[in-house]
Amino acid sequence: MPKLIPATERLARARKLIQQARALPVPSTGLGRSDFSYIANVKDLMRQAKDLIKFIPQTAGVSAEMKEEVKKVYEEIEQATRDILY
């Protein structure tokens, strides 16, 4: 049976994935930011971050503060995606 990850750890891991996406080097050859593999890597990291936190608000016993943190992380994901890809 898989080990359950606490909500605070999930939020920390999601933020770490966002930082990894920001740290990806933009390809200097070819299409640059329009390179398909670069876009795919960024979107994959953002998808992983969303998957980590998407069920936290529906979990029983989660505080309102934790739900607000999840909203903030979703906003960070969207902002990072816009900053990196557009």
Confidence at residue 1, expressed as pLDDT on a 0 to 100 scale: 66
> How much is the CA Rg of the chain, to the nearest whole Å?
15
Q: Residue range 2-17: average pLDDT?
A: 91
Q: Residue range 14-24: average pLDDT?
A: 96
Structure tokens at 10: 């999930």
The secondary element (H helix, E strand) that includes residue 48 is: helix 36-53
What is the CA 41 to chain-centroid distance, rounded? 12
Please choose, from the candidates 45, 62, 71, the residue with its C-alpha nearest in 3D space to the C-alpha of residue 6.
62
Helix (H, G, I), strand (E, B) or coil at 54: coil
Confidence of residue 35 (pLDDT cuts 50, 70, 90): confident
Which of the pair, 2 or 27, is modelled with greater confidence? 27
> What is the model's pTM?
0.89
Q: Residue range 17-35: average pLDDT?
A: 88
Neighbours of 18 (CB within 10 A): 21
